[in-house]
């Protein structure tokens, strides 16, 4: 079962605009991570937000976490064509004595120049 | 520090064959995880090794196996390949599974 679900599935914006994508998850978490993947390549870690944090910034990125709603959002400010990629949220799912990092299906962001 | 490396980068096999993929983690990282990525199922966790021991396992059949060596390098093996095993296989390393994962570029496997 999917632990994280991103919304929207796809987003197309113009360069300079802000892009917001959301992630919802099902169980309690220690932290939530956001990753970026350029077409068919490995994932790049963007930011990790812990369960006791509400907001975190990194450059043009802003991540919020609402544990009461089990949701997080990633805001990319002043987007650039190079931000075109898929974005995934990931959380740890504990199941049957095992822990695994579970990714959502991702939001595909296209930034048009 | 050098990043996570995976070999080979591309691989073509036929049904019924077996394949071994290799992953070298970032120096000092003791946790290595493997993921399978397909258009239909997305990113799915295969297994995680820490200090040569499999700590966590995803919901994959026994045809998928792995191991970790004393230098933290890891291999995963898929036996009796099926068409559905065609995917991008990603390896990630980290000091600990709960923290940031550093991904390699992946091995793209095509099963014909």
With CB atoms and an 8 Å threshold, state whether B103 touches A43: yes
Distances (CA, A) of A16 to A80, A102, A111: 6, 31, 9
For chain B, residues with pLDDT lower than 70 are 97-98
Touching check for B58 and chain A: CB below 8 Å? yes
Q: What pLDDT band is residue A3 in, cutting at 50, 70 and 90? A: low
pLDDT tens for residues A40-88? 788 999 999 999 999 999 999 999 999 999 999 999 999 999 999 999 9
Residue A83 backbone dihedrals phi, psi, to 5 degrees: -80, -10
Among candidate residues A7, A3, A10, the one with its CA nearest the CA of residue A74: A7
Q: What pLDDT band is residue A1 in, cutting at 50, 70 and 90? A: very low
List the structure tokens of B21.
Answer: 């993929």
Residue A82 backbone dihedrals phi, psi, to 5 degrees: -70, -10
- Exposed/middle/buried for A25, CB within 10 Å: 0-12, 13-18, 19+? buried
The answer to whether the beta carbons of residues B49 and B92 sit under 8 Å apart is: no
Which of A100, A103, A104 is the best mutation test for B, with the most CBs of B within 10 A?
A: A100
């Amino acid at each position: 079962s999917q632990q994280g679900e991103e919304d929207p599935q796809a987003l197309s914006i113009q360069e300079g605009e802000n892009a917001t994508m959301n992630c919802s998850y099902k169980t309690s978490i220690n932290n939530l991570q956001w990753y970026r993947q350029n077409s068919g390549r490995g994932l790049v870690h963007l930011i990790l937000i812990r369960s006791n944090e509400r907001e975190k910034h990194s450059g043009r990125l802003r991540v919020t976490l609402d544990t009461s709603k089990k949701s997080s959002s990633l805001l990319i400010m002043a987007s650039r064509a190079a931000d075109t990629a898929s974005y995934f949220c990931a959380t740890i799912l504990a199941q049957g004595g095992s822990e695994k990092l579970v990714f959502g299906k991702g939001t595909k962001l296209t930034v048009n120049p | 520090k050098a990043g996570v490396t995976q070999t080979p980068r591309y691989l073509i096999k036929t049904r019924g064959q077996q394949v071994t993929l290799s992953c070298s983690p970032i120096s000092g990282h003791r946790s290595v995880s493997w993921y399978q990525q397909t258009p239909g199922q997305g990113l799915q966790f295969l297994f995680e090794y820490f200090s040569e021991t499999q700590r966590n396992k995803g919901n994959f059949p026994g045809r998928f196996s792995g191991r970790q060596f004393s230098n933290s390098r890891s291999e995963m093996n898929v036996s009796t390949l099926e068409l559905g095993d065609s995917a991008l296989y990603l390896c990630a390393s980290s000091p600990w599974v709960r923290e940031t994962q550093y991904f390699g570029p992946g091995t793209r496997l095509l099963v014909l």
